[in-house]
Amino acid sequence: MTACMRWKPGRVQSWRRPSDGGFNPASYGVQAIPDDTTAEDFVTRLHYSGSYVNARQRYGLFDLTGPQPILAGVAVLSVPSNKLVLTNVFPKLTAYYESLELGRFVLVDAVPANGESWFLAEVRRLAAATGIRGIVSFSDPVRRTTLAGQEVMPGHWGLIYQASNAVYTGQSTKRWEWLLPDGTVFSARTAQKIRKQEKGHLYAERLLMAHGARPPRAGERPADWLATALDQARARKFVHPGKHRYAFAAGTTRRARQAVTINPRPRPYPKADLGQLDMFGA
């Protein structure tokens, strides 16, 4: 691994290199977080998306070097928007009960290099004890900037997962997305919630209004308002090439992990091609 990403409040990224050293597992502990309040606050403050997910399990990385444990990282195993995200990769596992998505994974700036690999291994071990046998995770290779050109996400290629010996299964499907002026992604799935007035449409509408869109008018077709709102919010539309998809087999024994079927067949790890996916420039 060439470098490990860390985050500070305000979605400011920094880096730790393995040569820096310093990570001592004896100084840290991992345990389940019982509710969303603590995990959601940590994730929304630090993760580049600024958003949370539909959590099923939450785990915290705690710094034990002080008089009181301090939360230094959060991993969230979540329910994806589509069941196929899980069943396409783990066809023999029961989605949501035996397989979940690693929806968020965030460490603070102070954690030394290689801390994420240890944290991720502990999360898999603890999740396996609850019956989870498969975990899928995605890394987004598209660099994102604000409308003013400030980088908010440099593009992720899954180096953490590669260092953790995850199985690379290719990329997800290409799709249209929009980028809001602050670098926040407004996905096609989010847009569909507005068009169909599905659960979550109010949050999506407020997100666009926060960027300058007018409120919906009485009797206005949701699809018509969406088209106007995206324009008023200065959203930039682009074709996302697909996220890199990684899979982990979990289990309390090696035999249990080896018994997990992962589809499709493993592929070579992708390598970063800086500039290739700079969709908006800087």
Sorted by where each begins, the domain ranges of the chain are: 4-173+241-258, 178-237
Rounded CA gap, 151 and 154, in Å?
Answer: 7
Please work out, in degrees rounded to the nearest 5, the angle formed at the alpha carbon of residue 130 by the alpha carbons of 160 and 89.
50
Question: Tens place of pLDDT for every residue, the chain, 282 residues?
Answer: 455 554 455 554 554 554 455 789 999 999 999 999 999 999 989 887 778 899 999 999 999 999 999 999 999 999 998 999 999 999 999 999 999 999 999 999 899 988 999 999 999 999 999 999 999 999 999 888 899 988 888 888 898 899 999 999 999 989 889 999 998 889 888 999 999 999 889 989 999 999 999 999 999 999 999 999 999 999 999 999 999 999 999 999 999 999 999 998 899 999 866 444 444 432
Which among 52, 10, 11 is positioned nearest to 35, based on CA atoms? 52
User: Helices marked H in 66-200 — which ranges?
Assistant: 84-87, 115-128, 159-163, 188-196
5 contact partners, CB below 8 Å, separation of at least 6: 13, 14, 15, 156
Looking at the chain, which runs of residues are DSSP E strands? 4-8, 12-16, 28-32, 55-63, 70-78, 99-107, 134-139, 144-145, 151-153, 167-171, 175-179, 185-187, 236-240, 244-249
State whether CATH 3.40.50.720 applies to domain 4-173+241-258.
Answer: no
The helix-helix angle for 201-209 and 222-232 (nearest 10°) equals 30
Rounded CA gap, 18 and 108, in Å?
Answer: 16
